[in-house]
Structure 1
């Protein structure tokens, strides 16, 4: 770690506290101190090794060892590092992992599937920032059978919370008289976006599972299990290939 000045939120990301965007929220909330004083200035420059930075009154230091994990999250777990309601948290599913890691984005309590965790705030920022257009693919079981016109409208984008959604890819893989199972790929990260999209077109989601980030899928990873990712795995996250959308 060099001792060049960096912005406070970037330093927090480098230390694995959270993505830069989330770190800015922590700063605004008064949870970060620099040399004993609460800092709420987003542009503040600090020098690692010179300035003493505390997050929630605990010393923040940049870790040299970065770790990247893919977890097949079960339903019933929250994607936060603590929960005031006492619900189980996803990091409890990582036995043997000594590094402090955080989830990249979130999955709802009742949603399962692929969840990235890391202590690399810079990578997390790249995955979450809309400009990088990281594709996320989900399997959604929805009520009813959406018409071809409805599918096309979802693919082109619909008005959601007064803003049009970006183009998406959808493919119906199973259907019966009551429900349909649809593979949907999006690259935005709006809160509960997939659920809201289907709700808006009259086909509420019955169950939801994230299958992949980019070209990095769960493969044979069992529910509740995790694996350490390699450099090649990380590259696959940013791949624009989408084998899950290929019709067989």
Structure 2
């Protein structure tokens, strides 16, 4: 069966679909010995040989891992500064997995790692509206006007950012108030930029859920593979 090359690379766990497209455009993928740079190219995995960066590409067993990212750890695979990476926390699987989306270096909490490019692509795409919940502690209480603006949308340097829900937390950190924020889609430094627009300082930012998945009792730096029922719930959340 013919399949788009970038989709096949994603299904094989080479990279996410978007990252696979870049690999193709950059000339790092060949089909039957010929370098391919056209994104519309289709291949038949049963009869054609696909190679990426000198390594044959083939479908492999899908792996899904949930990790509680500590602060100070980055989500990118390459870092010129030599900082600790999320994949360094899963040494037995580091060569096979990549993160689904990102958390900035000072944020912590639930991050998913996988080699399942197709499902990862759906989870990150805004059209599937996979909700993500964060707990954030800030240096002052939000007013009713602040919350109304967050729900309606804040203009953050030309980009409209908003939340779906704002719920106060009972737990405080060093007398600082906290809130649970629910996002329908996550932009780069989404919550931090909104807090900055409201002149609030973020004390702590923790992601506690992605779709049906909950961080719960997983300690900072720990990880575990998803249970079959969790993976099934994840697939249902994106219409698979």
1:86 aligns with 2:103: no
Point out where structure 1 has 5 or more consecutive residues left out of the alignment. Answer: 241-248
CA drift at 1:131: 0.7
- The residue aligned with 1:71 is 67
Aligned-partner Cα distance in 2 for 1:47–1:189: 35
Q: CA RMSD in A?
A: 2.3
Which shows bigger deviation, 218-227 or 78-87?
78-87
Aligned-partner Cα distance in 1 for 2:83–2:155: 34
1:183 aligns with 2:180: yes
Aligned-partner Cα distance in 2 for 1:199–1:138: 16
CA drift at 1:114: 0.3
Kept in 2: contact 1:13–1:122 (CA 8 A): yes
- The residue aligned with 1:245 is none
CA drift at 1:55: 2.3
- The residue aligned with 2:158 is 162
- The residue aligned with 1:244 is none
- The residue aligned with 1:133 is 129
User: Do the aligned partners of residues 146 and 70 (structure 1) sit closer, same or farther apart at CA in structure 2, a change above 3 Å counting?
Assistant: same
1:102 aligns with 2:98: yes
- Find the partner of 1:227 among 215, 224, 238: 224
1:124 aligns with 2:99: no
Runs of 4+ in 1 over 3 A off after TM superposition: 35-38, 95-99, 174-179, 235-240
Q: What TM-score does the superposition give when structure 2 sets the normalisation length? A: 0.88
Q: Secondary structure at the match of 1:91?
A: helix
- The residue aligned with 2:59 is 62
CA drift at 1:219: 1.1
Kept in 2: contact 1:135–1:186 (CA 8 A): yes
CA drift at 1:108: 1.2
CA drift at 1:52: 2.8
Kept in 1: contact 2:156–2:194 (CA 8 A): yes
Q: What TM-score does the superposition give when structure 1 sets the normalisation length? A: 0.85
CA drift at 1:172: 2.0
Point out where structure 2 has 5 or more consecutive residues left out of the alignment. Answer: none
Kept in 2: contact 1:134–1:238 (CA 8 A): no
Aligned-partner Cα distance in 1 for 2:207–2:174: 24
Kept in 1: contact 2:88–2:94 (CA 8 A): no
